[in-house]
A and B are shown apart, each in its own frame.
Chain A
Amino acid sequence: MNKKKSIFIVTVASMVGLMAACGGKTDQSKSTTTTPAKSMLEEKKVADPKGIGEVKNVNLTDPMEESMIVSGKAIYEMKCSACHKLTDQRVVGPGWAGVTNRRRPEWIMNMITNVDVMLEEDPTAQKLLEECLTRMPNQGVTVGDARSILEFMRKNDVEKVGSKDEAINQ
């Protein structure tokens, strides 16, 4: 019974995913057609640890940039906190504790700023969607603001798990 329900949810989620993915029509060429189920099934693709998007390289500084932490926290509270907790508890989306140890900074910023493409093409993002079943919304965050959020995540990782940035060696 439970299984039935979750299959149903997965199907609905992928349908919604496909529907929403085609939404930004003005930005895409009209002839693009999305092949059904592509996003859920093609997992052979090699994941780029930096993800997909305009963020190619991030320089991390130590010590951390205090002004970015402050503005990153403010953006987190406005646009992210409804779904992401600062602990490791998953609510709608995964908890943030330890995120910079799991994902490269470029991946994090691409996920924030280019979420529709990431959910469409990035295997790691797709795997998360299968776990969480709710598409992460595009919250209209600029690359600059995403960098501030990243700084806030680094600070949060130091506080919650005692280490940060371990994913840069991936």
Chain B
Amino acid sequence: MKNVKLISLMSISVVMLLLFGCGKKDVSNVVEGNAAEQAYVAPGEYDEFYAFMSGGYSGQITAYGLPSGRLLKEIPVFSKYPENGYGYSEETKGFFKTSYGHVPWDDSHHIELSQTDGEFDGRWLFVNGNNTPRIARVDLKTFETVEILEIPDVAGLHCAPFITENSEYLVSGTRFSVPIPQKDVSISTYKENFSGLINYVSVDQESGEMDLAFQIEMPGFNYDLARNGKGKSHGWSFLTTYNSEQAYTLLEVNASQKDKDLLAIVNWKKAEEYLKAGKGKERTTSYYHNLMDEGSGIVESKEMTKTTILDPKDCPDMVYFIPVPKSPHGCDVDPTGEYIVGNGKLSADMSIYSFDKIMAAIEAKDFAGEIDGIQIINYESGLHGILKKPGLGPLHTEFDGKGNAYTTFFISSEVVKWDVQKLEVLDRQSTFYSPGHLVIPGGETRKPYGKYLVAMNKITKDRYLPTGPELAHSAQLFDISGDKMKLILDFPTKGEPHYAQSIPASKIQPNSKKFFPIEENEHPHAAKGEGQAKVIRDGNIVRVYMTTIRSHLAPDNIEGIKMGDTVYFHVTNLEQDWDVPHGFAVQGANNAELLIMPGQTRTLKWVPNRVGVLAYYCTDFCSALHQEMSGYVRVSPANSDVKLMWGLNNENQDEETLREMLKQQGK
């Protein structure tokens, strides 16, 4: 019996060895010297960088401080968030409107911060929803989601939303090719019926508002990841594809047959010219654009029905392909804009392309073939060189601005530092375990801040105290200011961070909004002052215009609600100071609570399901008398003749008084 146990233990450790190289690392081998000091941010001090991490299957994003690894905020984006009522309040539920109906969850993957001249500018953050294709925008003044745009006729919007160096476009591609427009066909007709799209969403430079500018019809491959050119390569996009085999079943085998897949290269300035010249074809489709109005905080959802398609067959010199070794994943452009790194997941080597050579090959028509009117550039002609056997399973690359690249290797569980020009490996450090993306502050821009690197790992296992079968994903922070990378901190993250971007705090901190000026509140149901608190009945719709201030709700006594009524609590927070939100919760609400920021109005829908007197209260400890911040709402039978009345401190008003009040105001 003992033997059996021993053997099974041994085989487990063998498996672990195989999986992770050498089992759990002895920490003393990895962490040295003043690591703790380097990651330590003293109480009351601030971090040097913000890091924004996607949440993967949480659908949200998180803001961390670096180097401390402290979680600053979870920002709800693609999933409802009962903690503050996001997606539950009447104002915000419109964010989830799609052509598929109300979709209150998604899978967020890639963070893209807005750029000016190839540098992060701290204005907006964009992130993709993978499952029901969408792109969201977060305003970095408020750290709130303000816009979600659906992308039509694609599936699995993994390859998104990669930004150009002046935030002109967010580039995305379909991960799963599908019939366009959708139709009822056999899956085995993939080759004839399925195709892909590369999408260009424009960004208004004043408002940040997104608009689907055009889509490029592409062969039915899987478009995986992308980057845009910078500096001299500005105006071009680079997208990896896999499954050029066009398999539709058991992809792990059937999409891994060919020695090389393809990198798509798009000249988007050329695409703009074709668009202007009227080469685009309008197609009828359906997708939603959900935009929050700044004054009212209300999301307006609009169905869009037209999209413009550019077909490479009608638009020569707009799209090219170049081969990339085996099933590429990441595709990254160095800070100079000259080198493009293609990571073949199943290849032992990495291909690094030269923008100048690609341009020369196009000029010389150095092509090896054609697919659907798209020329394929000769592999060797566009190549800067090959990084030989850097590790196993290369995924993603970022840069330090000093000529070095850092690539994650999933299978060999490490980060490798290499010289982009010389194609030499300089250093390798283990991560725990199996990293996906990595991030260096500014690491994809023309101006990286090559001080720290965070590896975001897919497997956690024994890194922390166990928490049952489900574990938080681990991240590791390295100091990369010296020749060798140095592990200085290990911290758990939320959801499954895929990509992250990090920016100096100085680009965001000075613009951070502290409250919403009440004078600028344009919500149609705002009560801008306690004198405007009232209750209005319209048939069986009852609207409560409520105000909050430390430490009371007005009104706090409401009578005359009847069974069958739908009650809307429009709650306005009258505070005008930083960090004084009030909460609102009412017993039996079938949705969530509201968390209302100073100067804001938020609305909770409530359908009482029983006769009686129910309580409501402020949920956010706001003052010494927070516990007193509460009220009662009386619910009577449907046929009752209880008069609609409301008040505070026994100064009750009713409908007649209200009519008089409104008449007076009208005068």
Residues of chain A touching chain B, judged by Cβ–Cβ distance below 8 Å, are 9, 12-13, 15-16, 23-25, 30, 77-79, 81-83, 91-92, 133-135, 137-141
Contacts and interface: CB of A to CB of B under 8 A. Distances in A.
A81 B527 CA distance: 12
B378 interface: no
A92 B625 CA distance: 10
B623 A135 contact: yes
B519 to A, nearest CB: 7
Given A82-B549, A137-B549, A140-B515, A16 B623 contact: yes
B106 to A, nearest CB: 35
A133 B625 contact: yes
Interface of B: 44, 515, 517-519, 528-532, 547, 549-552, 554, 574-580, 623-625, 649
Given A78-B519, A78-B529, A137 B576 contact: yes
Nearest to B574: A82
A23 B528 CA distance: 26
A24 B514 CA distance: 11
A82 B529 contact: yes
A23 B579 contact: yes
Nearest to B625: A134
Contacts of B575: 137, 139
Contacts of A77: 529-532
A79 B576 contact: yes
Given A137-B580, A140-B517, A92 B552 contact: yes
13 contacts: A9-B625, A12-B624, A16-B624, A77-B530, A77-B531, A79-B576, A82-B547, A133-B624, A133-B625, A137-B575, A138-B577, A139-B574, A139-B575
Nearest to A84: B530
Contacts of A16: 623-624
Contacts, number: 67
A83 B44 CA distance: 33
Given A77-B532, A82-B530, 12 more contacts: A25-B44, A77-B530, A78-B528, A78-B574, A92-B551, A134-B551, A137-B549, A137-B575, A137-B577, A138-B576, A138-B577, A140-B576
Contact of B578 (A12, A23, A83): A23
A134 B577 contact: no
A80 to B, nearest CB: 8
Contacts of A134: 550-551, 623-625
A23 B575 CA distance: 15
A91 B624 contact: no
Contacts of A91: 649
Contact of B518 (A9, A24, A78): A78
Contacts of B530: 77, 81-82
A82 B624 contact: no
A139 B624 CA distance: 18
B34 to A, nearest CB: 23
Contacts of B515: 140
A79 B518 contact: yes
Given A12-B624, A16-B624, A135 B550 contact: yes
A77 B518 CA distance: 12
Contacts of A133: 624-625
Contact of B531 (A23, A81, A137): A81
Nearest to B622: A16
Contacts of B649: 91
Contacts of A141: 576
Nearest to B519: A78
B649 to A, nearest CB: 6
Contact of B577 (A78, A81, A83, A140): A140
A92 B548 CA distance: 13
Contacts of B574: 78-79, 82, 139
In the A-B complex, the 4 residue pairs with the smallest Cβ-Cβ separation, listed nearest first, are: A140-B576, A82-B530, A78-B529, A77-B529
A77 B531 CA distance: 6
A81 B649 CA distance: 14
A34 B37 CA distance: 28
A166 B43 CA distance: 49
A77 B528 CA distance: 8
A73 to B, nearest CB: 10
Given A82-B554, A134-B623, A24 B578 contact: yes
A77 B519 CA distance: 12
Contacts of B552: 82, 92
Most buried by A among B549, B554, B579, B624: B624
Nearest to B552: A92
A152 to B, nearest CB: 13
Contacts of A82: 529-530, 547, 549, 552, 554, 574
Contacts of B519: 78
Most buried by A among B551, B577, B578: B577
A78 B216 CA distance: 52
Contacts of B531: 77, 81
A80 B123 CA distance: 34
A59 B532 CA distance: 33
A139 B576 contact: yes
